[in-house]
Amino acid sequence: MADSSIKSLSDLLAEGVEGRGVLVRSDLNVPLDDEGHITDPGRILASVPTLKALSDAGAKVVVVAHLGRPKGGPEPKFSLAPVAAALGEQLGRHVQLAGDVVGSDALARAEGLTDGDVLMLENVRFEKRETSKDDAERLSLAKALAELVGEDGAFVSDGFGVVHRKQASVYDVATLLPHYAGTLVATEVKVLEQLTSSTERPYAVVLGGSKVSDKLGVIENLATKADSIVIGGGMCFTFLAAQGLSVGTSLLQPEMIDTCKKLLEDYGDVIHLPVDIVVAAEFAADSPPQTVPADKIPEDKMGLDIGPESVKRFTALLSNARTVFWNGPMGVFEFPEYAAGTKGVAEAVIGATSKGAFSVVGGGDSAAAVRQLGLPDDGFSHISTGGGASLEYLEGKKLPGIDILTNS
């Protein structure tokens, strides 16, 4: 999928960008608290190398990004204003924010850019055409975006978290402009290729999160490739139910029980489930925890984390791994009383990495957990910025935003 015919940022810089407009699709979809403050700047930091290289080389940089899920129109709470300010701090230069996406303000600001300037467009998902299923609608927005960088403009795809989406600023704009993979996208694809094609064994996969349905494709695809698949988080309860166990009031996908039964029948030697669970009476940070065996979950309690014995067993499985892919927390790590499972497994991955294993954290909640639990980023070989894109790649799906870059 990461075809060698994909042109890189270094190719673009070699061609020369001074005085040229360069449209960059970044992934700046960072989490905000209720006051609108950024709680995890990971994606902003990851976008800096590409944007700084272009700005330093004299390009007129126009950044396209989204934030949250606005419902097809401008919503003040999803404005990129705090992101533009934070990005400016990291770049050490002022980042203008247009008041619209491709309207009069964006156009005027783009025309006024001088060499090295950085302009951020307002949240691209304020435009319904961005996510339209209608090819013509998406293309019309892509044309308006391309116009912002002029006839000798270029497009750099650097938002790995969105390359699995066929959207105007990800896919269609690459059909209109010379296109290149940014530093972030090139790195992510190289890492995922290593996970799928040149994997050193033993290969361990750690999957958490709430729903089996979200990870089903990855489980099916990796069960034949991995030596062990460790399952925790809310999704483990559907597997436990498939073994005929009661899971109390824990998160459950009844429609997936038969699928889980089949997976356990086919890959029971590869799939490993928790042996103990930390339960609570209700989903609340102050609900008192109680650790019980996985086959003795009380009817009136819900599982919110894997227990210490499970962490021990999973750590043993991971200790000799040479390759580890981790996606999804083991429990409700946002609640301190229910974070031990996620922290324990994360520390096991760090331990394997310190002994030479190649470890990849698959973005999303896993990356957030690493930072919230105070674990070192450099304890892992790579922390992905795109949870969904990573999973779809490992499922063997084509990623539209990568495929289009191979078409020159």
CB neighbour list of residue 286: distance below 8 Å, 6 or more residues apart:
none
Instruction: Write the DSSP assignment of 237-269 as a string of letters.
Output: HHHHHHTT---TTS---GGGHHHHHHHHHHHTT
User: What is the pLDDT, as a whole number, of residue 80?
Assistant: 98
Does the pTM exceed 0.75?
yes
Please give the C-alpha separations between residue 15 and each of 11, 96, 149, 154, 347, in angstroms, as whole numbers. Answer: 6, 26, 16, 11, 44
Mark out the alpha helices in 290-339 (DSSP H runs).
Answer: 308-319
Q: Is 211 a catalytic residue?
A: yes
User: What is the pLDDT, as a whole number, of residue 67?
Assistant: 97
Catalytic residue among 159, 364, 386, 401: 364
* Ligand-binding site membership of 127 (annotated): no
**Percent helix, percent strand, percent coil in the chain, to nearest 5:** 45, 15, 40
pLDDT, mean of each 10-residue run, the chain (408 residues):
76 98 96 90 94 98 96 92 98 97 98 98 97 97 98 97 96 98 94 86 94 90 93 97 98 96 97 98 97 98 98 96 95 97 97 96 86 92 88 90 86
Pairing of strands 290-293, 118-120: unpaired
Q: Is 371 a catalytic residue?
A: no
> What domains sit in the chain, N to C, each tagged with a CATH number?
9-186 (3.40.50.1260), 199-394 (3.40.50.1260)
* Ligand-binding site membership of 303 (annotated): yes
* Ligand-binding site membership of 69 (annotated): yes
User: What is the pLDDT, as a whole number, of residue 2?
Assistant: 46
Q: Hey, what are 359's tokens?
A: 């470890």
Q: Is 244 a catalytic residue?
A: no
Q: Is 362 a catalytic residue?
A: no
User: What is the pLDDT, as a whole number, of residue 4?
Assistant: 58
User: What is the pLDDT, as a whole number, of residue 408?
Assistant: 55
Catalytic residue among 211, 261, 313, 397: 211
* Ligand-binding site membership of 371 (annotated): no
